[in-house]
Amino acid sequence: MKKIQRIYRFLKTDGSIFKTLYFNFKLLPFRDACKLPIAIGRRVEFQNLSKVKIRFVDGVKLSMFTVSIGLNKTEITSPRTLWSLLRFEENSELCLGEKVTIASGAAISIYKNAKLIINSRVVMNQRVKIFAKNYVEFGTDCRVGWESQIYDTAFHLTYIKEKNIIKSPYGKVVLGHNCWITNRCTVSGNVFLPPFSMLASGSVLNKDHSNITSTGNLFAGSPAVLKKTGIFRIFKEKKERELMKFFGENRNLQYIDAGPDFDIMDYQIAF
């Protein structure tokens, strides 16, 4: 019964049975493919599927539709003419966790010998763009807002006269667990974003911040710098729904006192 309900929801959110079967049985071992762990939407275009290797994060228990690409539970823009692109080059690798959601309009390109890791419970909204020329990793429980773009490359070569050097176009992007990239952000180059960080709308993150050990970090600006600490997104969906309902019924309130016993870690998925 549960499988029938999943299939019904899958078709209701613009899923394609044909593309789902093709994608799973083309790229996964037969035993894994039979579980149909990757759900594919009707408006998803594939390029060079034979050139990519797909694997799952160690310890992931595969189940039907644990990963979805090109489907829409909640639309920001109309999905009717919104296509997603999965483009791969020779010896590229895509590593996936469980409960990964990539909404419609995504453009994901993994170039030759590059790796893209999307850990468990990562959610990406519509029109997200990811370009991995070397290495891009999303930590568990990351969220990426609509029309944001993440890439580890400058795409072209540049010469710096002052130092008489030609810079490599290859970088590395690592987003720690429980990070929130809000809408219309750019993450590029050699980047490390600490766990429990958020990037404000329209910001450009292009630096390695691995020296920052605080949590609840708010980065903003172009280039993005650390503005505040101690600010956390509430990631647990049940808790968030309860609070959203409360504020919806009490719209005159700007905030509520969390109380002396409040622990933000109770509102994080991975903890």
**pTM summary value:** 0.93
Residue of 74, 171, 176, 172 whose CA lies nearest to 122: 176
Residue of 219, 211, 232, 235 whose CA lies nearest to 187: 219
The tokens for 36 are: 């149909």
Q: Where are the chain's structural domains?
A: 44-234, 235-271
- Cβ pair 220, 199 in contact under 8 A: yes
Residue of 44, 55, 53 whose CA lies nearest to 20: 44
Residue 108 exposed, middle or buried by CB count within 10 Å (0-12, 13-18, 19+) = buried
Candidate CATH numbers 2.160.10.10, 3.90.1150.10, 2.60.120.260, 2.60.290.11; the one for domain 44-234:
2.160.10.10
User: What pLDDT shows up at residue 79?
Assistant: 66
Q: Rg of the chain's alpha carbons, rounded to an integer?
A: 20
User: What pLDDT shows up at residue 271?
Assistant: 54
User: What pLDDT shows up at residue 122?
Assistant: 96
State pLDDT tens for residues 143-180.
999 999 999 998 889 999 999 999 898 999 999 999 99
Distances (CA, A) of 252 to 62, 239, 243, 244: 45, 20, 14, 13
Q: DSSP letter for 233, please.
A: -
Q: How many residues does the chain have?
A: 271
Gap between the Cα atoms of 99 and 269, Å rounded: 12
Gap between the Cα atoms of 8 and 17, Å rounded: 11
- In this prediction, the residues of the chain whose per-residue pLDDT falls under 70 are 1, 73-75, 79, 270-271
User: What pLDDT shows up at residue 81?
Assistant: 75
Gap between the Cα atoms of 131 and 137, Å rounded: 11
User: What pLDDT shows up at residue 77?
Assistant: 72
